């Protein structure tokens, strides 16, 4: 009975391995997107056309800000996903940091870097 209760406190090694694979795939995708955004940002600012257009400068600024925001979001996502890998190594992955309960597999598959269960997130008002 005690053993069964202890097993429900964390995901098993096989499940953690599945999540690790999922997270590594998500990191690769996010890094690809980040590279794309950074290339677009670099190319966007270097075209001679963009420097000469005058009236389009406002649009260029908006596009540069949009690309910068998207790149920043990708960097944050990558950082959150890498932290999730650390939690997998520490065998604390999938445990709600608020309640200590297991976060549902469905939630972790949708948001693999989640650290709060749905109930804890709703209680926090996020």
- For the chain, the domain total comes to 1
φ, ψ for residue 95, nearest 5 deg: -100, 125
Residue 102 in any domain: the answer is: no
Range of the structural domain that residue 41 is part of: 2-94
> pTM surpassing 0.85?
no
SS3 letters for the chain?
CHHHHHHCCCCCHHHHHHHHHHHHHHHHHHHHHHHHHHHHHHHHHHCHHHHHCCCCHHHHHHHHHHHHHHHHHHHHHHHHHHHHHHHHHCCCCCECCCCCCECCHHHHHHCCCCCCCHHHHHHHCC
Residue 99 in any domain: the answer is: no
Residue 35 in any domain: the answer is: yes
Share of the chain above pLDDT 90, in %: 70
Residue 33 in any domain: the answer is: yes
pLDDT in tens, 75-109: 999 999 999 999 999 999 999 999 999 999 999 99
pLDDT in tens, 18-72: 999 999 999 999 999 999 999 999 887 655 454 555 555 667 888 889 999 999 9
- Cβ neighbours, 10 Å, residue 13: 10
């Amino acid at each position: 009975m005690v053993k069964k209760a202890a097993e429900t406190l964390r995901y098993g090694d096989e499940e953690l391995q599945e999540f690790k694979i999922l997270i590594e795939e998500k990191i690769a995708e996010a890094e690809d997107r980040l590279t794309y955004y950074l290339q677009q940002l670099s190319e966007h600012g270097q075209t001679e056309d963009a420097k000469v257009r005058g009236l389009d400068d406002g649009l260029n600024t908006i596009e540069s800000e949009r690309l910068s925001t998207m790149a920043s979001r990708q960097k944050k996502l990558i950082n959150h996903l890498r932290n999730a890998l650390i939690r997998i190594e520490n065998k604390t992955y999938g445990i709600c940091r608020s309640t200590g309960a297991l976060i549902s597999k469905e939630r972790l598959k949708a948001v693999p870097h989640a650290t709060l269960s749905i109930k804890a997130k709703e209680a926090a008002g996020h």
